[in-house]
Amino acid sequence: MTQTTTLTTTPDAALTQMRAAPPLVHCITNYVAMNIAANVLLAAGASPAMLHTPEESRDFAAIAGALTINFGTLSPNWVAGMHAAIDGATGAGRPWVFDPVAHYASPWRGGIARDLLARNPTILRGNASEIMALAGFETASRGPDAADSVAAAEDAARSLATAQSCIVAVTGAVDFVTDGTRAVRVHGGDPMMARITAMGCSLTTLTGAYAATLPDPFDATVAALAHFAAAGNVAAGAPGPASFQTLFVDALYTATPDSLAAIPVTAA
Amino acid sequence: MTQTTTLTTTPDAALTQMRAAPPLVHCITNYVAMNIAANVLLAAGASPAMLHTPEESRDFAAIAGALTINFGTLSPNWVAGMHAAIDGATGAGRPWVFDPVAHYASPWRGGIARDLLARNPTILRGNASEIMALAGFETASRGPDAADSVAAAEDAARSLATAQSCIVAVTGAVDFVTDGTRAVRVHGGDPMMARITAMGCSLTTLTGAYAATLPDPFDATVAALAHFAAAGNVAAGAPGPASFQTLFVDALYTATPDSLAAIPVTAA
Amino acid sequence: MTQTTTLTTTPDAALTQMRAAPPLVHCITNYVAMNIAANVLLAAGASPAMLHTPEESRDFAAIAGALTINFGTLSPNWVAGMHAAIDGATGAGRPWVFDPVAHYASPWRGGIARDLLARNPTILRGNASEIMALAGFETASRGPDAADSVAAAEDAARSLATAQSCIVAVTGAVDFVTDGTRAVRVHGGDPMMARITAMGCSLTTLTGAYAATLPDPFDATVAALAHFAAAGNVAAGAPGPASFQTLFVDALYTATPDSLAAIPVTAA
């Protein structure tokens, strides 16, 4: 048995449930990630919907199964749409996932990250540098690529999870997930994933798909990370990042409960 | 002979004509579809141009061969650009194609769909749920993915085509095209196409390329669907959606008049 | 020896330097190019950051290694972000690269191209039609695809380089680079590259990566073109544009100093 007993719903069972009733996932994500994130959701078994403008994001968030917000290519109009969508999701009791891409890239972006965090995301997902900086730690990173190890971000993740009462996932070579009390590491994937843009953004939307499916967002986060890790294991060995991406998305589609059950999820 | 005699220009002849004088296609499409739609047009043999802002969309629509409008990731500024582009295309006698992605996703989006429809598109393309809802029928779908069969949408398509004096194409497992009087079904493609984002959006832009080439928009629509179906047949059997997409776009490029002539187009 | 002695830093040495200290490249590019441009930079060895809004583009341009501006899917808000970013880059002494996609597509776009050109880009990259039209020559092109040969644009490139005191690169079957005095041709690549969208846009961002690395923007431009040409040579023979793109991005990743040293760079 490679998976911790901390989980109520294991990744294999989560995959089966998600595909049995494909969740409609409302994604507000950046221009870079739009296409690959939608393809990741469709390959995995979910149904993506990308719409962002405040004229409709509140209404739609209330009927979707979950909302995911990634603010990579941010502008003021999009912030208004994010606020409306969060109101819609929260009012309807839907979970929402926040991905604060490179929030330290500018003072303006940092302020918006803090404001969105204060709106109580169900799940917060970032790379080590993003999570560390959000918890007030120093980071050497200035752009979307991480400059810190996941291990170095574990304390930051625990403190953020406790302070915000949310799930925090730090993704990288070995992923770390915590709700402040429980904590696990998810093992798998491949270093080539850091050479493909919007992989983290896509993982955020897949986390939304599982959050729409399972009652416990901790289990949902682990299931999404296990699904990604299983696909990354299949694609490992590709000669370059573009062929890796093709194999990876195909492997999200061909993933089985058995392949997710084989991903080590260890207590941390 | 697998193709109905309803057509004046058959798909094989249409392909030859389109490639002999690659049409410049003005595409206003959503952020998810931008890249794949442009690649679909280039692979097929046309020349895409993506620009949307009202400061230039009227001018450019008047010099392009056709205009296509897909409102997936809509916002108010884009609506203004769509209006200007439609004015430019209409004023210059150019055809335009409308793709009302998930128009039932919010009341705001529904209102814009009705407004655009009232501006007299030459061709309307959607999935079964989109066409049914636009004709006032009920649909279970709430997002971009269809929840109805093409067969269930045929009556809606005929009534819309008659009411709007336009071509209506309902695309899915078997496509249906009608101008209210004439009607055909186009057979081919593969179920994997529903697992790849923006395939319908890309088909809309290819319809524009053929509409820029042929005098009869009914023939143009059938040619675009046959080109897509032929490529889908080639890609069938791919292990997953990402490798399918690669094979599919390559097959749009390698498609020949013979491969389009082999697509069954039957009277309906 | 296939490479001219005009260069202080040859492409092979430039590649080694760029990968040894991956530059953070601030890209303001169009919606079509966003994903592929980011993947091109990551595969090549650089670190892309896509952000555009004036609230943060000035701050970020000052901390990135270089700025690249491509105005494909332009709108007024983005112009403001471009202005702020150029101010930030210029103020911090960072190079910036301008890619005036289809600037002749509308009078409005043409005015913005002239305004941006007046802000003194370090490097100007375009296809033959774009460079000719910017220098006041006639072109038959009306959209993003070139209708002229690179050879026909060499005089225009020389006169623009002299008038603007910048590097001008005209890319196509054989690329031409000049600073008004020095001039070289870079040989390689494959005609299939014209059937893939946003290849030029991606090349612009890669030029930024080398401009952030080398002191001489002439050498940087040649290095980027040689890196692209080497990858194009590897991908040549693919059955269609989508498989070509996969091979191409993989080849940017697997490119070695030796493969760049093998690209002919001849005096012009």
Structure confidence by residue, pLDDT tens digits, B206-225? 999 999 999 999 999 999 99
Task: Evaluate if residue B259 carries a pLDDT over 80.
Answer: yes
Contact between C59 and A106 using a beta-carbon 8 Å cutoff: yes
Contact between A74 and C60 using a beta-carbon 8 Å cutoff: no
pLDDT digits (tens, 9 = 90+) for A204-233: 999 999 999 999 999 999 999 999 999 999
Within 8 A of A77 by CB-CB distance, chain B residues are 75
C-alpha distances (whole Å) from C188 to each of A139, C175, C226 are 41, 9, 8
With an 8 Å Cβ cutoff, is A256 touching chain C?
no
Average pLDDT over residues B142-155: 92
With an 8 Å Cβ cutoff, is C96 touching chain A?
no
pLDDT at C6: 82
pLDDT at A3: 83
Q: What angle in degrees, to the nearest 10, is found between the helix axes of C107-117 and B54-63?
A: 120
Q: Residue C194: closest CA among chain B residues belongs to which residue? A: B42
pLDDT at B5: 75
Regions in chain C scoring below 70 on pLDDT: 1
Smallest CA–CA distance, residue B35 to chain A, in Å, is 8
pLDDT digits (tens, 9 = 90+) for C52-67: 999 999 999 999 999 9
Contact between B48 and C240 using a beta-carbon 8 Å cutoff: no
pLDDT at C54: 97
Smallest CA–CA distance, residue C194 to chain B, in Å, is 8
Backbone angles phi, psi at C58, to 5 degrees: -70, -50
Return the H-helix or E-strand segment holding B132.
helix B128-134
Contact between C56 and A106 using a beta-carbon 8 Å cutoff: yes
Whole-number average pLDDT of chain B: 96
Q: Residue C254: closest CA among chain A residues belongs to which residue? A: A240
pLDDT at B2: 72
With an 8 Å Cβ cutoff, is C236 touching chain A?
no
pLDDT at C100: 97
With an 8 Å Cβ cutoff, is C146 touching chain B?
no
Helix, strand, or coil here: A67? Answer: strand
**Whole-number Å distance between alpha carbons of B216 and B166:** 11
Closest by Cβ to B32, choosing from A38, A47, A77: A38
Backbone angles phi, psi at C181, to 5 degrees: -110, -65
Closest by Cβ to A56, choosing from B33, B109, B239: B109
Q: Residue A195: closest CA among chain C residues belongs to which residue? A: C42
Binding partners of C (≥3 Cβ pairs within 8 A): A, B
With an 8 Å Cβ cutoff, is A40 touching chain C?
no
Contact between A47 and B242 using a beta-carbon 8 Å cutoff: no
pLDDT digits (tens, 9 = 90+) for C239-263: 999 999 999 999 999 999 999 999 9
Within 8 A of B144 by CB-CB distance, chain A residues are 47-49
Binding partners of A (≥3 Cβ pairs within 8 A): B, C
Contact between A38 and B74 using a beta-carbon 8 Å cutoff: no
* Beta-carbon contacts below 8 Å between A and B: 100
Smallest CA–CA distance, residue C174 to chain A, in Å, is 25
Within 8 A of A42 by CB-CB distance, chain B residues are 194-197, 241
Contact between B248 and C242 using a beta-carbon 8 Å cutoff: yes
With an 8 Å Cβ cutoff, is C55 touching chain A?
yes
If we measure between CA atoms, which residue out of A228, A253, A208 comes closest to residue A28? A208
Average pLDDT over residues A88-106: 97
If we measure between CA atoms, which residue out of A65, A77, A72, A67 comes closest to residue B74? A77
Q: Residue A42: closest CA among chain B residues belongs to which residue? A: B195
**In sequence order, which residues have a C-beta less than 8 Å from that of residue B167 and are 6 or more positions away?**
B122, B123, B124, B161, B177, B178, B179, B217, B218, B221
Within 8 A of A49 by CB-CB distance, chain B residues are 102, 105, 143-144
With an 8 Å Cβ cutoff, is A47 touching chain B?
yes
Within 8 A of B39 by CB-CB distance, chain C residues are 196-197, 241-242, 245
With an 8 Å Cβ cutoff, is C198 touching chain B?
yes
| Domains assigned to chain B | 11-267 (3.40.1190.20)
Work out the pLDDT band at B24, boundaries 50, 70, 90: very high
Closest by Cβ to C102, choosing from B34, B49, B254: B49
Closest by Cβ to B195, choosing from A34, A248, A253: A253
Smallest CA–CA distance, residue A94 to chain C, in Å, is 29
Read off the pTM.
0.97
Sheet holding A47-50, edge to edge: A47-50, A24-28, A66-70, A96-99, A123-126, A167-170, A174-178, A183-187, A265-267
With an 8 Å Cβ cutoff, is C176 touching chain A?
no
Average pLDDT over residues B162-172: 97
Average pLDDT over residues A6-32: 97
Contact between B246 and C246 using a beta-carbon 8 Å cutoff: yes
Smallest CA–CA distance, residue A222 to chain B, in Å, is 24
Closest by Cβ to A197, choosing from C38, C55, C63: C38
Closest by Cβ to C253, choosing from A72, A107, A240: A240
Contact between C144 and B42 using a beta-carbon 8 Å cutoff: no
pLDDT at A219: 98
Work out the pLDDT band at B53, boundaries 50, 70, 90: very high
- Asked if B116 and A63 count as a contact pair (C-beta separation under 8 A), the reply is no
**DSSP-assigned states of every residue in chain C:** --B-TT-SS-HHHHHHHHHHSPPEEEEE--TTTHHHHHHHHHHHT-EEEE---HHHHHHHHHHSSEEEEE-TT--HHHHHHHHHHHHHHHHTT--EEEE-TTGGG-HHHHHHHHHHHTT--SEEEE-HHHHHHHTT------SSS--S-TGGGHHHHHHHHHHHTSEEEE-SSEEEEESSS-EEEEE---GGGGGSTTHHHHHHHHHHHHHHH-S-HHHHHHHHHHHHHHHHHHHTT-SSHHHHHHHHHHHHHH--HHHHHTS-EEE-
Helix, strand, or coil here: A267? Answer: strand
Binding partners of B (≥3 Cβ pairs within 8 A): A, C
